[in-house]
A = this chain, B = another copy of it.
């Protein structure tokens, strides 16, 4: 048995009393041939390991370099230095793996996030990414915990899908056919019957439609899985592969849906605040440092922790699309012609409008409901007015849309008419329509983009910095 180590995060909670321990980790720094800052990934706080002067040969000490790995046994003693309660007096010191300082790409200095993106396989060993991925973990766990406690079932909806009916975005093809000389039909078209699944298949853009099938049997379900967009968007907010959470609830209307979404977002933020305080404080300091580079008027009004506490302690603003347009039309920004894009009832809001509402007008998360049917999906429930649908988008400061949801159209004849209007092929979605055919129920759900949530909570500004190995146009390294 190799591993009898104590994790540093736990060790740091002990009272120093000469306990014998084994710790293992990677060296962050080694000062004066005497003080090793050791990190094992459980926390950003390094453990100080004190090496007895003169005990080791110089050749050995030279091998204790940044990112070399050590096994240390020793005793836990009160620290003489500042900023730490305890340290380890090393009895034995074993180098598990060397790290040639001439070759190791990350030096104990500040690297740019761009540079670290190229070294995504090693950036986990930095404080910033240590904190980001520990927070990401907590948010993911909190999501499962929240839904489990409410009796929702976790469903794994298919990743490979033959349905391209939803029209949520450009899709990736999944195939085993050869590009050179693919099988063809008599008319010269590609014979996809010969493909692995006997038809054309794509990577899913959403698990919602399948989620509805499960919700109309189990009552309440959620998905948490990868989704894909083959869109050529090289932005700080888009990924070709990202993770999405999609709860779907039977016996649920738009208001229930909003209540759940708000409770959910607060729950997972609170979980991270309780379990990752140290990481969030580190990230808050990082963000404050980063914002010093910005002109004063571009800096955030609130620090990261303050922002998260504000979200926890305030109700999300709830307004209709119609009210949102009115606010925009009355705004000084509109009157001073500061918006680039048109503001008019019936036109989709642009990012600048959403940011105005969230960051300038309400200064908190806003739920916008009842959008014009023209720019919403076929499955959203038609309102009495015949013009708007029971949609809801949650807009977050600094991020924009973080949740998109709706009450679903449960009325068969309304749904069929809408599908026809929008050229959605009903015959391909026979199974979806069956839920309306047999015991249909009012139901609703939403989708939360996980990486956008991680962005919001960590205060990072590029979505490629909150997923381990980002996938984007021309980007599939690692």
Kindly state the separation between the CA atoms of A154 and B143 in the bound complex, as whole angstroms.
Answer: 12
Instruction: Please provide the chain A residues from 386 to 433 with a CB less than 8 Å away from any CB of chain B in the complex.
Output: 410, 431-432
Contact of B474 with A197 in the complex, beta carbons under 8 Å: yes
A137 touches B159 (CB 8 A): no
Instruction: Please indicate the chain B residues that have their CB under 8 angstroms from the CB of A140 in the complex.
Output: 144, 154, 156
For the A-B complex with A122-B438, A172-B196 known, give 18 more contacts whose Cβ atoms are closer than 8 Å.
A2-B255, A5-B251, A24-B250, A69-B440, A96-B442, A97-B439, A99-B439, A121-B213, A141-B148, A159-B226, A160-B172, A172-B175, A179-B179, A197-B240, A197-B471, A197-B473, A197-B475, A198-B475
Residues of chain B lying within 8 A (CB to CB) of residue A232: 196
Contacts known (A226-B225, A251-B5, A256-B2); A156 close to B468, Cβ less than 8 A: yes
Are A190 and B180 CB-contacts (below 8 A) given A141-B144, A161-B476? yes
Asked if B243 and A7 sit within 8 Å, CB to CB, the answer is no
| A157 near B468: Cβ-Cβ < 8 Å | yes
Q: Give the size category of A's interface with B.
A: 35 or more
Q: What is the bound-complex CA distance between A174 and B23, given in angstroms?
A: 43
* CB contact between A7 and one of B104, B203, B219 (< 8 Å): that residue: B219
Q: How many copies does the complex hold?
A: 2
Asked whether A439 lies within 8 Å of B172 as measured between CB atoms, the reply is no
Task: List residues 20-44 of chain A with CB under 8 A from any CB of chain B.
Answer: 24-27, 40-42
Specify the chain B residue showing the minimal Cβ separation from A23. B251
CA distance A432 to B121 in the complex (A): 8
Most buried by B among A228, A250, A259: A250
The answer to whether the Cβ of A60 comes within 8 Å of any Cβ in the partner chain is no
Given A179-B190, A475-B197, CB of A151 within 8 Å of CB of B9: yes
Partner of A438, one of B67, B124, B201: B67
Partner of A173, one of B71, B176, B217: B176
Contacts known (A160-B240, A469-B210); A438 close to B199, Cβ less than 8 A? no
A241 CB contacts on chain B under 8 angstroms? 158-160
Interface status of A133 (Cβ within 8 A of chain B): yes
Most buried by B among A154, A210, A217, A232: A217
Q: A69: shortest Cβ distance to chain B, in Å? A: 4
- A162-B476, A174-B174, A440-B69 are contacts. A253–B1 as well, Cβ < 8 Å? yes
- By a CB distance below 8 angstroms, the chain B residues around A468 are 155-158, 210, 213-214
Q: Is A14 an interface residue (CB 8 A)?
A: no
Knowing A137-B153, A153-B137, say if A439 contacts B69 (CB, 8 Å): yes
